[in-house]
Amino acid sequence: MKEVSLLDLQASVVDKSAFATLSGYSELCQMFLRFLEISTPTRIVSPTHKNYIFYQYGKEYGYRITRPLNIDLFIESTDNFRAAFDRFCAFLSDIRKYQEKTSDQKSAKKYIETKEINKVVYTIQQAAGSIGDSFENPNQSRKRVGQLFETLIKLIIQELGLECEPRTIKIPIPGYPGYEMPYELDIVFSRNKAIMAAETKFIDATEIVGSIKTTSKDRIDKVFLDKYLLTKLLCRNIRVVAVFLHDVQRAKHGTSIFGVNSTFKSNHFLGYTVALNRLDGVYYVDPRPGMIVNEKLREQISDLQTFLVRDLWRLSTGD
């Protein structure tokens, strides 16, 4: 593999023409992991959460620090990632073939138990995010890193054989002729290509709206509001799911700047569920422990692998 510098990786991340395929994401990830192995930036373990680490770049990059990385999910070895990505692609082919019956296949059960889908997606996205963290001005890359996650999830769903694309719609406001409410939807996916009829020209009854964000911080209310407004304005239930990468951020802990805090607001989440509506699914690549322990949250929140193996197919058949 060609040796690359962090400057090369920065250029790749902001290249709008790149990342049209999953293999393009894999290539960037492998180059970043190789860069870590060759340049050996400082590896720092969080004092608050031992399963989270940071990489600190050298003097030429202002000793800038990456986002917290969950080593239970982040694959640090280039060779291990390459092998995991190959298994990941093979399993996506199995899901495409068996669809909702995938988990019933004897050959699939062992792989599902490893939760390697989450690890591969997490490593790919956090590699891109960590490259973004090396920019002098983080605003140079923040939006781009979010776009890369949206595209990554879109490509994975398309790899499963489903129709999946972003969509911008303009919904007429009832009672206000000539006024329309614009909506940019991260993705709209369906099992079969929808044929838009007059009464469903914005979102077909077979389609599901997906909100794809790296974190729910400052965004979770909008996801609930989107479902509420779309359902209200279109006068029928619109199925909406949310896919998040994680809900953690770096925080100061005593004299250390390498603490890790959760950004998930559980009470807000439950409050929106009661006051507005329940989402049709919420999925994390790196779910917080409380989402698993708390029974009320566990009813609504699961991991990305569960979405791809089970719930996506249930939703796309309208069950």
CA–CA distance, 231 with 223 (Å, rounded to integer): 12
In order of 40, 168, 188, 232, 243, the CA distances from 240 in angstroms are 42, 15, 9, 13, 10
Name the token pair of 79.
Answer: 């060779």
Rg over alpha carbons for the chain, rounded to the nearest Å, is: 20
Q: What pLDDT does 194 receive?
A: 58
| 17-50 pLDDT tens trace | 889 999 999 999 999 999 999 998 999 999 999 9
CA–CA distance, 13 with 302 (Å, rounded to integer): 29
Average pLDDT score over the chain: 93
Q: What pLDDT does 137 receive?
A: 83
Helix, strand, coil tally for the chain in percent (to 5): 50, 20, 30
Residue 54: beta bridge partners? 44
pTM across the whole model: 0.95
Torsion of CA 102, 104, 105, 111, to 10 degrees: 70
- Sorting pLDDT into bands at 50, 70 and 90, what band is 83? very high
Name the one residue in this structure whose structure tokens are 């959760």: 262
Residue 305: beta bridge partners? none
CA–CA distance, 172 with 176 (Å, rounded to integer): 8
| 145-154 pLDDT tens trace | 999 999 999 9
CA–CA distance, 42 with 220 (Å, rounded to integer): 34
Cβ neighbours of 111 (radius 10 Å):
19
CA–CA distance, 19 with 26 (Å, rounded to integer): 9
Could you tell me if 206 and 191 are in contact, meaning their C-beta atoms sit under 8 angstroms apart? Answer: yes
Q: What pLDDT does 107 receive?
A: 86
Can you say how many angstroms the Cα of residue 143 is from the centroid of all Cα atoms in its chain? 14
CA–CA distance, 307 with 157 (Å, rounded to integer): 10
pLDDT of 254 > 90? The answer is no
Q: What pLDDT does 199 receive?
A: 45
Residue type, 147: Q
| 190-234 pLDDT tens trace | 987 654 444 456 899 899 999 999 999 989 999 999 999 999 999
Q: What pLDDT does 10 receive?
A: 94
| 105-146 pLDDT tens trace | 998 999 999 999 999 999 999 999 999 999 988 777 889 999
